[in-house]
């Protein structure tokens, strides 16, 4: 973990500590002592089921592009990706290149193909979230007395998420747009790097081409859409239900609608790439939103502490336990595989190999359509 990330993490914890101090540490601890451990255990089990469903969705996507990696192999990769998301201030995206790199290393498929499956996985996760975010914003405008600038920021956040997803999908189905993106990336490459630009330019073109072909295959598969979208929606519902169970642990049942609104809003705030995993931002926003909905501040704070211990700290701890399996240097690949750490089968790949891989993907796509 880099020193900068550690400092941000400490800063986020300080924010959380200050909020708890203002609420009253004794009040929070009294609420925690009264919690029902059975409901807490149930919430933990629900979170573990969520891990499994994440893995199942990614497994379905990988099988579509003929990346043969079973559930047991993918599960620790998912956990590592979630952990890296939590320790990097990257709007919940820092773990995706790492996940793609580890799959590339384990399956020996091109990084472009494995990264495309990760992006497709995130896209299927984002589609239901966009729907829930729009519904939440509508409800919040009518049910909460928020300042105009806060509502404006939330609307802008939703628009940015939608724009990014639409751009990725459009790039995958429109070859001309893909060429424009490639040219833009090449321009940036020449602008900021003077070393081995010809070699990197060739690699960049190959990467975009491989990414486009894999994405095309995944988003055009009707069976995948039929399974992955409902599964993603169910995952979001299960996460909201977990928060409801946490409040039940304190003998304070809360309307699922209030939980859903507060949870989705806090996730939106967590997309701001400032603090690792939104530490402090998500926690603080959840407490404030729950309290503004009429829930006692002590209960709001205690429930948020338990919820974040499960969804953030437990996830991070379990994910970091997988590092010895893949090697400590795996965290060096947060922005993609380094030249030195890239596996031999991928680094020695030439243009003919890539064309062959693309042709195989096209054949698989034709077979799928039949």
- Does residue 305 form part of some domain? yes
Find the range with the poorest average confidence among 62-76, 207-221, 256-270, 293-307: 207-221
- What separation in angstroms does the CA of 180 have from each of 167, 210, 265? 12, 16, 34
Distance CA 40, CA 147 (A): 34
C-beta of residue 232 within 8 angstroms of C-beta of residue 127: yes
pLDDT at 242 over 90: yes
The per-residue pLDDT for range 59-74, each reduced to its tens digit, is: 998 888 788 889 999 9
- Does residue 344 form part of some domain? no
Task: Tell me the residue range of the domain where 86 lies.
Answer: 3-164+233-335
Q: What is the pLDDT of residue 347?
A: 38
- Does residue 10 form part of some domain? yes
The per-residue pLDDT for range 112-133, each reduced to its tens digit, is: 788 878 888 887 888 888 888 8
pLDDT at 325 over 80: yes
Q: What is the pLDDT of residue 65?
A: 79
77: phi then psi, degrees, rounded to nearest 5: -65, -45
- Does residue 353 form part of some domain? no
**Which single residue is written with the structure tokens 């973990």?**
1
Residue 259 burial (CB count, 10 A): 25
Higher-scoring residue by pLDDT: 169, 132: 132
- Does residue 211 form part of some domain? no
Alpha helix (H) residue ranges in 174-280: 175-192, 197-219, 222-248, 256-270
For residues 335-354, average pLDDT: 45
- Does residue 223 form part of some domain? no
Give the chain's domain count: 1
- Does residue 355 form part of some domain? no
Q: What is the pLDDT of residue 191?
A: 62
pTM of the model: 0.74
- Does residue 149 form part of some domain? yes
pLDDT at 209 over 70: no
3-state secondary structure of 250: coil
């Amino acid at each position: 973990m880099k020193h900068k990330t550690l400092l941000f993490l400490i800063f986020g914890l300080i924010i959380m500590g200050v909020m708890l101090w203002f609420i009253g540490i004794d009040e929070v601890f009294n609420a925690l002592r009264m919690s029902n451990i059975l409901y807490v255990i149930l919430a933990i089990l629900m979170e573990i089921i969520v891990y499994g469903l994440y893995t199942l969705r990614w497994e379905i996507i990988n099988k579509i592009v003929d990346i043969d990696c079973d559930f047991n192999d993918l599960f620790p990769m998912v956990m590592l990706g979630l952990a890296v998301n939590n320790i990097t201030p990257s709007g919940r995206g820092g773990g995706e290149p790492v996940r793609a790199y580890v799959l590339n290393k384990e399956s020996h498929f091109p990084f472009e193909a494995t990264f495309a499956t990760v992006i497709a996985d995130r896209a299927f996760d984002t589609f239901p979230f966009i729907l829930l975010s729009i519904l939440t914003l509508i409800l919040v405008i009518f049910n909460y007395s928020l300042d105009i600038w806060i509502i404006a920021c939330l609307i802008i956040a939703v628009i940015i998420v939608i724009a990014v997803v639409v751009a990725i999908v459009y790039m995958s189905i429109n070859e001309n747009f893909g060429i424009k993106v490639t040219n833009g990336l090449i321009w940036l490459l020449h602008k900021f790097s003077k070393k081995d630009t010809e070699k990197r330019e060739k690699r960049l073109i190959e990467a975009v081409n491989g990414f486009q072909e894999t994405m095309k295959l995944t988003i055009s598969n009707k069976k995948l859409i039929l399974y992955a979208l409902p599964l993603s929606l169910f995952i979001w519902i299960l996460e909201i239900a977990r928060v409801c169970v946490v409040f039940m642990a304190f003998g304070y049942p809360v309307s699922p609608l209030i939980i859903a609104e507060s949870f989705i809003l806090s996730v939106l705030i967590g997309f701001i790439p400032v603090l690792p995993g939104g530490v402090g931002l998500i926690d603080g926003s959840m407490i404030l939103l729950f309290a503004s909905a009429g829930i006692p501040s002590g209960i709001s704070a205690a429930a948020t502490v338990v919820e974040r211990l499960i969804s953030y700290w437990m996830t991070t701890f379990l994910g970091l336990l997988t590092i010895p399996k893949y090697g400590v240097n795996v965290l060096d690949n947060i922005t993609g595989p380094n030249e030195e750490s890239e596996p031999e089968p991928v680094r020695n790949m030439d243009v003919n190999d890539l064309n062959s891989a693309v042709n195989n993907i096209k054949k698989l796509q034709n077979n799928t359509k039949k």
